[in-house]
Amino acid sequence: MPDPSGRGSVFDEWQHAAAIVDTTSPAMTDPGGGSDFAGFYNHLGIPIADWGFSGESGMYHSQYDDFAWMSRFGDPSFAYHATAAGIGAAMVLRLANADVVPYDYLEFARTMQRYVPGVDRQIAGRGWTTSTAALRTAITRMEREAANFVAARDSALAHTLSAPRRHAVNAALRQVERALTRPTGLRTRPWYRNLIYVADENNGYANMPFPSVNEAIRDDDEALAERELSELAQRFDAATRALTQARTSLTAP
């Protein structure tokens, strides 16, 4: 997909903005808070994705954020709008035509590991003895299984996958992030059932990772934080079991 700047592809410019010089993709970022995906991801645990272009303007969500401003100053040729639409169309085609839905739970697990030090700092700052070791270990198990799944998937896709196998694999993959939701929801907000991301209750547009744990820490409740860390580790293990089921379904008779 050519970037409207004319300096290469959108992917090239994305890498440049992320200061990445090799062929790898930029790291996964959080989805933010308070947007249209809430009913899907925050409540039901259905994976979501968003993409777009941004820049300095000061117009976002102001009374000047309208067609007149955009057509005169923001994107007069609407090239960035067309490119964003093209990315969306390509993504839909990729998902719709994939024999195995192309979720990247290896990157997902690595991103989850990056959130743990923040929890550690908050715990240490309060002088608590609570440990995140079980959570770290559970995420590591997920990362290991995700790598095993990728290898098995790529090997299986070198040949023709039967329809029953495809259906079984994709059904298992759909359960990975649903395993990271809790039917009773957050203690403070039961509607929000996802234990990975939620809109911060003090700032609807900000995102909070591991909300069940971080809200317990914010409330200075060490016993609750310890219980929430234990349950979150169990949720990651449940997600890992779904990945294992997806991998075994690739070769099931």
Number of domains, the chain? 2
CATH number, position 208: 1.20.930.40
Predicted confidence (pLDDT) per residue in 28-43, tens digit: 888 888 788 999 999 9
pLDDT for the residue 201: 86
For residue 3, being part of any structural domain is answered with no
Domain boundary among 78, 97, 116: 97
Condensed to tens digits (0 to 9), the pLDDT of residues 49-70 reads 989 888 887 888 899 999 999 9
Query: For position 25, what pLDDT does the model report?
Result: 82
Full domain range(s) for residue 15: 10-97
According to the model, what pLDDT value does residue 61 have? 83
- Domain-terminating residue out of 97, 131, 153: 97
Query: Considering the domain boundaries, does residue 206 fall inside one?
Result: yes
Q: How far apart are CA 185 and CA 182, in angstroms?
A: 5
Residue 212 lies in a domain: yes
What confidence score (pLDDT) does residue 173 get?
Answer: 98
Residues 66 and 183 in one domain: no
Residues 72 and 197 grouped into a single domain: no
Collect the ranges in the chain with pLDDT lower than 50.
none
Question: What CA–CA distance (Å, rounded) separates 154 from 247?
Answer: 11
Sign, Cα dihedral of 113, 114, 115, 118: positive
Distances (CA, A) of 97 to 92, 159, 247: 8, 16, 20
Domain annotation covers residue 199 = yes
Both tokens of residue 187?
């203690």
- Nearest alpha-carbon partner for 4 in 71, 81, 90, 69: 81
pLDDT at 224: 98
CA distance 195 to 210: 6
pLDDT value of position 22: 80
Say how far apart CA 233 and CA 137 lie, in whole Å. 8
Q: 109 with 216, same domain?
A: yes
Residue at which a domain ends, from 57, 79, 97: 97
209: β partners: 197
